[in-house]
Amino acid sequence: MCGIVGLLLKNSALRSRLGELMVPMLIGMTERGPDSSGMAVFADAVAADRRKLSLYCAQPQFEWRQFEGDWTAQLDAAAFDINANHCIVTTATDPTRARAWIASEYPAVQVLSAGRSIDLYKDIGLPAQVAERYGFRNLTGTHLVGHTRMATESAVTTENAHPYTAGEDWCLVHNGSLANPGSLRRKLEKLGERFESDCDTEGACRYLHWRLSCGESLEQAIEHAFSDFDGFFTFLMGTRDKLALVRDPFACKPAVVAETDEYVAIASEFRSLAHLPGVKHASVFEPKPAQVYSWSV
């Protein structure tokens, strides 16, 4: 069992309240996922020659200032937004080069996400603790994808928490379990994908990203996933300008959507949506199995 939440704001005046609206959604899914949680937030893209990297280091007293100094000396004069064991770097360095530099100079630092729009936070602990740790209430932006995890098939670690990412400005969260993550992984590793965790969801995330990078639409990629994924899933996915939701053909895992003129909100259960403004007059529906739903900013 896990919980998923998603929120896309249609009314741009609400963007400054994205985090405030989302935190009760995430906390509402605590019983479904008390082990760890995470949040991918999409905001206006940085300039085309810039990238944002969300970084995490498990070491409690990690010297981000030293990391910043070395980065500035060896790569470029990037901007660093440091928050406890998390840091968002906005840089002109190519993400592949930046990743290689981090892996060689600071192997304890994990790259949680890369892109022009995405910031990503994930950590172990109750959703309320993780939300507090990273100040989720103050997050702003256009849309987000969040998750609360109840670990079933791999350990409770930050790497195994969701959301997962691959490439740039792409993320996925998962409620369910896949029975063939090993074969997916072997297939993708032969194609050059590099895995960073033990979690079955990472295979799904990288599989869909690989399909998308081959030029398929999300609908086409998911159509392939129906035959290549063996297991149960409700997936919520985020791109620079879109949220997408799909449930497996057996719809074992729940999802509910509430849509108003102001927002689209998605959660595993209605109890995470009950606090949203105007939800009593929202169009509330349960997504049908094997149907791809998507909403654009």
Partner 1 sequence: MVSVMAAAALRVVFDLAHQSVRELNQFLHGELGGVQEVLVKNPDGAHSLAVGLNAPLRVDIGGHAGYYAAGMNQSATVVVHGNAGPGVAENMMSGRVEVSGFASGGAGASAHGGLLIIRGDAGLRCGISLKGGDIVVGGEVGSFSAFMAQAGRMVICGDAGDGLGDSLYEAVLYVRGQIRSLGADARIEAMGERDHAAVRELLGAAGLLHPSSEFKRVASARSLYHWNADAGQTY
Q: Minimal distance in Å, beta carbon 270 to partner 1?
A: 3
Subset of residues 206 to 225 that bind partner 1, contact rule: CB under 8 A: none
Counting contacts by CB under 8 A, is residue 293 touching partner 1? no
Q: Minimal distance in Å, beta carbon 251 to partner 1?
A: 5
Selecting among 2, 57, 87, 205, the annotated active-site residue is: 2
Residue in 100, 281, 286, 291 binding partner 1, rule: CB under 8 A: 286
Counting contacts by CB under 8 A, is residue 289 touching partner 1? yes
Residue in 33, 245, 272, 297 binding partner 1, rule: CB under 8 A: 272
Residues that bind partner 1 (rule: CB under 8 A) add up to a total of 18
Stretch that binds partner 1, among 123-131, 215-223, 230-238, 243-251 (CB under 8 A): 243-251
Counting contacts by CB under 8 A, is residue 254 touching partner 1? yes
DSSP string, the chain: -EEEEEEEESSGGGGGGHHHHHHHHHHHTTTT--SEEEEEEE-SPPPTT-EEEEEEE--TT--HHHHHHHHHHHT---EEEEETTEEEEEESS-HHHHHHHHHHH-TTEEEEEEESSEEEEEEES-HHHHHHHTTGGG--SSEEEEEEE--SSS-S-STTSS-EE-SSSEEEEEEEEES-HHHHHHHHHHTT-----S-HHHHHHHHHHHHHHTT--HHHHHHHHHHH--EEEEEEEEETTEEEEEE-TT--S--EEEE-SSEEEEESSGGGTTTSTTGGGSEEEPPPTT--EEEE-
Counting contacts by CB under 8 A, is residue 175 touching partner 1? no
The reply to whether 2 belongs to the active site is yes
Counting contacts by CB under 8 A, is residue 285 touching partner 1? yes
Residue in 99, 137, 187, 271 binding partner 1, rule: CB under 8 A: 271
Residue in 250, 277, 278, 281 binding partner 1, rule: CB under 8 A: 250
Tell me which residues are annotated as active site: 2
Task: By CB under 8 A, name the binding residues for partner 1.
Answer: 249-251, 254, 256, 269-275, 280, 284-286, 288-289
